[in-house]
Structure 1
Amino acid sequence: MFERRRVRGLLLPALVATVSLALAACGGAPADTGPEPGASPGFPVSVEHALGTTEIPAPPERVVSLGYTDQDAILALGVVPVAIREFTGGQPSATWPWAADLLQGQQPAVLDGEFGLEAVAALEPDLIVAVSAGLTAEQYESYSRIAPVVTQPVGDQPFQSRWQDTTRLIGQALGRGAQADGLVADLEARFTAVAAEYPQLAGKRAAVAALSSVGAGQFFVWTSQDNRGRFLTSLGLTVPATFDELAGESFYADLSAERLGLLDEADVLVWLQIPGTENATLEAQPGYPALRVGQEGRVVNASTEQAVALSFSSVLSLPALLDTVPAELAARVGG
């Protein structure tokens, strides 16, 4: 994910200032009272996730999208959140063009900057989707006093969930699991078809990199276990093991200017520009003239929208990338 302030490679505005006494009055999560007369089919549902099991008693009608990119899956499933977390780019309703039509003319509130629990409580949500929010256990407990909360899938570290798992988990929480399964199956089939269309990509080494927004002379390279890297591997490409090794348990590796030459381990490089970062083109970097990948024309310079779509890596943003990026990759690897 992009970062506007460095916390493990992402901008993570403070999620919680303090838990006020007023919030305690919001009450706990709904008790498990079993199906009531007239209950909606499929509800209540129990959703198991990384920080617990959440009971959702009825179809949610006021959904807060607290994760940085969760709104895409929510919208794809036909639900318009009452509020959406700003991630990057300052788009209307914090929603990028590939998802804007699914707002159905509504204008959700935008949670931006440093907001507290009170701001979320004031929205009166009946579900808080925090799959890509990176909540701590304490933050999860605090938000759960407001409404049922779902976080990333069981076993996943924050910000490392596959788009397939995110879509399915949110579908389960919304009572639209079958619809989510269909969306996943359709997009996976699309990836398979595009990979077959560009067989020259198979086995080639590729990486996604960017200038860090935390200071000049620092760079990010995302791993094979990040959705940016998974986009490449889904097309038959491989991410050099060096970057996974450098990243350790993180989803990206930090490179200093002195190590920029490691980018030459890739046969083709996708270069992203993080919105708001100055002099962020690869060509503007002091080490660029020595890079073979640049000298040989093997760099795909992503547009701002492509860069953000790749960072979202959602069921809505990925189809637009498949329309353009694979052809650009194929043109640069040759063969």
Structure 2
Amino acid sequence: MLSPAIRRRAARATATLAAAVLVLTACGSGGPGGGAAVGGTDRVTLTGAYGRTTVPVTDEKIWALDPRTATELLGIGVTPTHSGTYTHRGDAAMEARRRLLADEGVELVDPDKVELVLKARPSLIVGERSLSSDKLIKKLRRIAPVLITPASAPWHENLRLLGRATGRSDRAETVIDHLDQAITTTKGDLEKAGRTGKTVSLMSACGDGTFCAYGSGRTAGPVLTGLGFKRPARHGQNRTGLTYGYTSVSEEKLGDLVAPIVFVLSGSVQYGAPDPLDNPLFEVGDATVGAVDFAAWYGSGSFDVPWILNDVRAVLLGDGTVTDEASGVTLFQHLRKATA
């Protein structure tokens, strides 16, 4: 169940975007496809967030609905023309993505300005499932073919979807192989230090009096499993397939989120709420606790894997410091160079 704060912010953004799309469609954008230019003759049928969809195989004139998807495209050698931005700012991984996209010449646009999508006439629209995409998928399909990746799917599955849609499957597999090796190397170091086999909880404040427990999908879940950790059963942390990757937890059950290892996701997700570590109901005792960036640990892409691995090494092995914006940019640049 979504926290009230998340629902309120999503509703405001969605209402504005929906109104813009309705104006566009009333003005006559045409039938399905809206007359959009198609970047190639080959087409592929993929299973995205809303079921099976057929899209052109193209690496040109791609509109990314969000910075996460846009950065994933950069990782497989595809530069989108535009990327929607987030309405909230401050998380280190978010800011790192902004820098990377701006440096590549990707035009960062207000996600509410749907008329810009129509004007750009993209060959393909791609993005990650969100509350906004749930409301707007039918409208977006009138502009161009759309591929929306599932919000709770493991990172490598979504990267493969983007690879197939852009004709960069080989590059996607190279990235996956490289990151799998990085996970294996880190797991070996954790085993030597006697840190594997423990239960890891992922949690955050999600507004005043509300907390979030994160499941085993997206990026952090598969990475932690690959490193040899266990996930708590309470509040679905050991589950994959949660619609948006988390469940809401009331304050009286906050103690359920304590485990031998706890990563507290901090940043914009808190909506100004106090740090959970200051709450007397969240008594961590002798647990190992690390405060990490929300946008990276709640991420759904390959970009987040080296970020999470770096944080794990910092918190559990005392190897360096947790990732910030600058070091996150460097990590991604190293990933691109290693997999080019």
Give me the TM-score of the superposition, normalised by structure 2.
0.76
1:192 to 176, 184, 192: 184
The change in CA–CA distance for 1:137 and 1:96 in structure 2 (over 3 A counts) is: closer
| CA distance in structure 2 between the partners assigned to 1:310 and 1:11 by the alignment | 24
Match of 2:276 in 1: 282
| CA distance in structure 2 between the partners assigned to 1:237 and 1:217 by the alignment | 29
| CA distance in structure 1 between the partners assigned to 2:153 and 2:274 by the alignment | 27
Q: CA deviation at 1:184?
A: 1.1
| CA distance in structure 2 between the partners assigned to 1:79 and 1:117 by the alignment | 22
Q: CA deviation at 1:137?
A: 6.9
**What SS does the aligned partner of 1:195 have?**
helix
Aligned: 1:81 with 2:44: no
Match of 1:163 in 2: 155
Backbone CA RMSD of aligned residues: 3.5
Q: Spell out the pairing of 1:130-169 with structure 2 (5 A cutoff).
A: 130-133=127-130, 139-152=136-149, 158-169=150-161
Q: CA deviation at 1:48?
A: 1.3
Match of 1:53 in 2: 53
Q: How many residues matched?
A: 303
2:288 to 294, 298, 304: 298
Q: Which has the higher helix share?
A: 2
1:231-283 Cα offsets, whole Å, 9 max, x none, are: 3222111111112189895532222111111123x111000113263244223
The change in CA–CA distance for 1:168 and 1:246 in structure 2 (over 3 A counts) is: closer
Match of 1:121 in 2: 118
| CA distance in structure 1 between the partners assigned to 2:190 and 2:174 by the alignment | 25
Q: CA deviation at 1:219?
A: 0.6
Q: CA deviation at 1:310?
A: 1.5
The change in CA–CA distance for 1:54 and 1:91 in structure 2 (over 3 A counts) is: farther
Match of 1:155 in 2: none
Amino acid at match of 2:247: A
| CA distance in structure 1 between the partners assigned to 2:63 and 2:73 by the alignment | 10
1:44-77 Cα offsets, whole Å, 9 max, x none, are: 1213123332231x63422111146211211112
Q: CA deviation at 1:230?
A: 2.9
| CA distance in structure 2 between the partners assigned to 1:120 and 1:89 by the alignment | 21
2:33 to 29, 33, 38: 29
Q: Spell out the pairing of 1:92-107 with structure 2 (5 A cutoff).
A: 96-97=95-96, 100-101=99-100, 103-107=102-106
Aligned: 1:19 with 2:22: yes
Looking at both structures, which has the greater relative contact order when contacts are Cα pairs under 8 Å and sequence separation is at least 6? 2
1:289-326 Cα offsets, whole Å, 9 max, x none, are: xx1x2x32521112xxx332222242123213322323
Amino acid at match of 2:299: F
1:85-137 Cα offsets, whole Å, 9 max, x none, are: 22375379x9632674465441413234xx25424212321110023345667
Amino acid at match of 2:33: A
Match of 1:271 in 2: 264
| CA distance in structure 2 between the partners assigned to 1:181 and 1:246 by the alignment | 26
Amino acid at match of 1:19: L
The change in CA–CA distance for 1:182 and 1:88 in structure 2 (over 3 A counts) is: farther
Q: CA deviation at 1:193?
A: 1.4
**What SS does the aligned partner of 1:130 have?**
strand
Structure 1: which 5+ runs fail to align?
153-157
Amino acid at match of 1:13: A
Amino acid at match of 1:55: V
Once the two structures are aligned, what percentage of the paired residues are identical?
A: 23
| CA distance in structure 2 between the partners assigned to 1:110 and 1:3 by the alignment | 27
| CA distance in structure 2 between the partners assigned to 1:101 and 1:82 by the alignment | 14
The change in CA–CA distance for 1:196 and 1:109 in structure 2 (over 3 A counts) is: same
| CA distance in structure 2 between the partners assigned to 1:139 and 1:98 by the alignment | 24
